[in-house]
């Protein structure tokens, strides 16, 4: 597997990296790249067959063998702030509901009533029990079936053996991870990561949008900086750099650092005193289908739910970076989130739609990912290995 030619000690810092490089090492590496006109490069060039974006069988394998078997971030812990808080949505094509129980622990269930399969929860909210809307069968927050209206109509039916069907849920790094199928051990999501989302971070917006794009094309657009000058000449380039990134690979995951021009001021700061907040954007890719973008004042948790070979639902949780409930910090975070979403990200969406439409052109048998696109190379290497494991 391709690895970059450096290895740094782990840092236990908050909102910092973790496996390979701490913030100070990232800052030094960025300053070196600026001084030398260089960027991080990977070892391998990867050719991904275009058919892997167009094949129904391939998508089915990705969903069944990778997305369902991987511990996948389902929502931030902060989306389940209190006892009874729940989030229901489809994950890898399966309706799932995650809920914080009376013991404070998060559990997740297949979202289907044990009577005739109606979904027992929809959207998000806070509840004391899940009452099926169809006939009123009622489950507690731990999934136990507690009440059947007119129970005499079901002689011999054992409520105890008909709880909501659990899937594995685990809170880690400020996220709720769900694993649907543990028949084949998937990857270890820890992969050297430290906490990503802190306890004071609040969710201030959630959004769901659907795009006519394969989920992998969508993902690829976020994890390389080789396109900044061409795609974002007026939005991101004036504040950032073209093709100047620090790329960490850890376990199945990666992190791409996008520095801002203003990081140059750190040259005058002693290395151990350098703080990078507001001077760069970190984009984490948590394999297989989740992105966490840490910007100056806000953090996005972006979940890519494949719906078809050419259709993806994007679920986004936008969170404050700090300040808790401070209205000033919240207003700034909202303003930044709006700016990024309306400018640079709109340009990215235009590109990925055009790529999707171009798949049918037949021009390419394969796409070539080069040494500046090493986080994408790592993704395809990891995905290929995960599909081959089964």
Cβ at position 145, least distance to ligand FES in Å: 10
Q: Assess 113 for contact with ligand FES (CB under 6 A).
A: yes
In the shown chain, the binding pattern of residues 315 to 334 toward ligand FES, with x for contact by CB under 6 A and - for none, equals --------------------
Question: Which lies closer to ligand FES via its Cβ, residue 79 or residue 97?
Answer: 97
Count of residues engaged in binding ligand FES, rule: CB under 6 A: 9
Site for ligand FES in 54-73 (CB under 6 A): none
Question: Which lies closer to Fe ion via its Cβ, residue 242 or residue 348?
Answer: 348
Stretch that binds ligand FES, among 34-42, 109-117, 284-292, 299-307 (CB under 6 A): 109-117
Cβ at position 231, least distance to Fe ion in Å: 5
Cβ at position 156, least distance to ligand FES in Å: 18
Cβ at position 242, least distance to Fe ion in Å: 11
In DSSP terms, 367 is beta-bridged to: 48
Owner of token pair 């078809």: 308
Q: Assess 115 for contact with ligand FES (CB under 6 A).
A: yes
Query: Rounded distance, CA 163 to CA 153, Å?
Result: 19
Calculate the alpha carbon distances from 170 to 26, 72, 74, 167 in Å. Answer: 30, 10, 10, 10
Owner of token pair 């105890």: 160
Question: Which lies closer to Fe ion via its Cβ, residue 85 or residue 245?
Answer: 245
Cβ at position 118, least distance to ligand FES in Å: 4
Calculate the alpha carbon distances from 230 to 19, 45, 219, 352 in Å. Answer: 31, 21, 18, 14
Phi, psi (degrees; rounded to nearest 5) at 333: -65, -40
| Assigned token pair, 129 | 């029990």
The item of Fe ion, ligand FES, none sharing an interface with residue 135, based on CB under 5 to 8 Å by kind, is ligand FES
Find the Cα–Cα–Cα–Cα dihedral 299, 321, 200, 253, rounded to 10°: 40
Query: Rounded distance, CA 197 to CA 76, Å?
Result: 8
Tell me the residue ranges of DSSP E strands in 114-202. 124-126, 130-131, 138-139, 145-147, 166-172, 175-179
- Identify whether 349 is preceded by a cis peptide bond (ω within 30 of 0): no
Stretch that binds ligand FES, among 28-36, 70-78, 108-116, 354-362 (CB under 6 A): 108-116
Cβ at position 65, least distance to Fe ion in Å: 29
Q: Assess 116 for contact with ligand FES (CB under 6 A).
A: yes
Cβ at position 45, least distance to ligand FES in Å: 53
Cβ at position 345, least distance to Fe ion in Å: 7
Q: Assess 6 for contact with ligand FES (CB under 6 A).
A: no
Question: Which lies closer to ligand FES via its Cβ, residue 118 or residue 355?
Answer: 118
Site for ligand FES in 132-161 (CB under 6 A): 132, 134-137
Asked if residue 78 lies in contact with residue 134, where contact means CB atoms within 8 angstroms, the answer is no
- Cα 330 from chain centre: 22
Cβ at position 93, least distance to ligand FES in Å: 20
Owner of token pair 């899937």: 167
The item of ligand FES, Fe ion, none sharing an interface with residue 54, based on CB under 5 to 8 Å by kind, is none
Question: Which lies closer to ligand FES via its Cβ, residue 35 or residue 165?
Answer: 165
Tell me the residue ranges of DSSP E strands in 148-288. 166-172, 175-179, 203-211, 246-250, 253-259, 280-286
Query: Rounded distance, CA 260 to CA 254, Å?
Result: 20
Calculate the alpha carbon distances from 231 to 127, 344, 351, 352 in Å. Answer: 45, 8, 8, 11
The item of ligand FES, Fe ion, none sharing an interface with residue 276, based on CB under 5 to 8 Å by kind, is none
The Cβ of residue 11 has, within 10 Å, a number of other Cβ atoms equal to: 18
Question: Which lies closer to Fe ion via its Cβ, residue 31 or residue 237?
Answer: 237
The item of Fe ion, ligand FES, none sharing an interface with residue 137, based on CB under 5 to 8 Å by kind, is ligand FES
Query: Rounded distance, CA 1 to CA 203, Å?
Result: 36
In this structure, what DSSP letter does residue 220 have? H
The item of Fe ion, ligand FES, none sharing an interface with residue 116, based on CB under 5 to 8 Å by kind, is ligand FES
Owner of token pair 């919240």: 330
Q: Assess 112 for contact with ligand FES (CB under 6 A).
A: no
Cβ at position 192, least distance to ligand FES in Å: 43
Chain residues binding ligand FES by CB under 6 A are: 113, 115-116, 118, 132, 134-137
């Amino acid at each position: 597997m391709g690895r970059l030619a450096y290895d740094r000690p782990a840092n236990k810092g908050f909102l910092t990296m973790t496996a390979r490089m701490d913030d100070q090492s990232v800052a030094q590496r960025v300053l070196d790249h600026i001084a030398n006109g260089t960027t991080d490069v990977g070892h391998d060039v990867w050719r991904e067959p275009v058919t892997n974006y167009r094949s129904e069988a391939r998508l089915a394998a990705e969903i069944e063998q990778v997305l369902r078997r991987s511990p996948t971030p389902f929502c931030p812990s902060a989306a389940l702030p209190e006892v009874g808080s729940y989030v229901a949505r489809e994950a890898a094509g399966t309706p799932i509901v995650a809920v914080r129980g009376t013991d404070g622990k998060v559990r997740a269930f297949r979202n289907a009533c044990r009577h005739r399969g109606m979904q027992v929860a929809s959207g998000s909210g806070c509840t004391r029990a899940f009452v099926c809307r169809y006939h009123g069968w009622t489950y507690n927050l731990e999934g136990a079936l507690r009440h059947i209206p007119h129970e005499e109509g079901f002689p011999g039916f054992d409520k105890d053996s008909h709880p909501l069907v659990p899937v594995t849920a685990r809170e880690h790094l400020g996220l709720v991870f769900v694993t649907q199928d543990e028949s084949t051990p998937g990857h270890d999501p820890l992969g050297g990561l430290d906490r990503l989302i802190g306890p004071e971070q609040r969710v201030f917006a959630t959004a769901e949008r659907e795009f006519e794009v394969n989920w992998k094309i969508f993902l690829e657009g976020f994890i390389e900086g080789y396109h900044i000058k061409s795609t974002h000449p007026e939005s991101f380039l004036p504040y950032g750099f073209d093709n100047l990134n620090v790329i960490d690979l850890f376990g199945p995951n990666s992190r791409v650092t996008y520095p801002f021009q203003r990081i140059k001021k750190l040259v005058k700061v002693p290395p151990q005193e350098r703080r990078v907040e507001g001077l760069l954007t970190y984009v984490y890719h948590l394999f297989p289908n989740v992105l966490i973008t840490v910007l100056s004042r806000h953090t996005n948790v972006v979940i890519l739910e494949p719906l078809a070979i050419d259709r993806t639902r994007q679920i986004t949780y936008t969170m404050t970076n700090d300040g808790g409930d401070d209205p000033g910090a919240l207003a700034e975070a909202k303003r930044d989130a709006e700016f990024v979403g309306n400018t640079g990200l709109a340009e990215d969406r235009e590109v990925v739609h055009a790529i999707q439409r171009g798949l049918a052109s037949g021009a390419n048998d394969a796409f070539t990912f080069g040494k500046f696109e090493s986080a994408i190379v790592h993704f395809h290497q990891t995905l290929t290995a995960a599909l081959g494991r089964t």
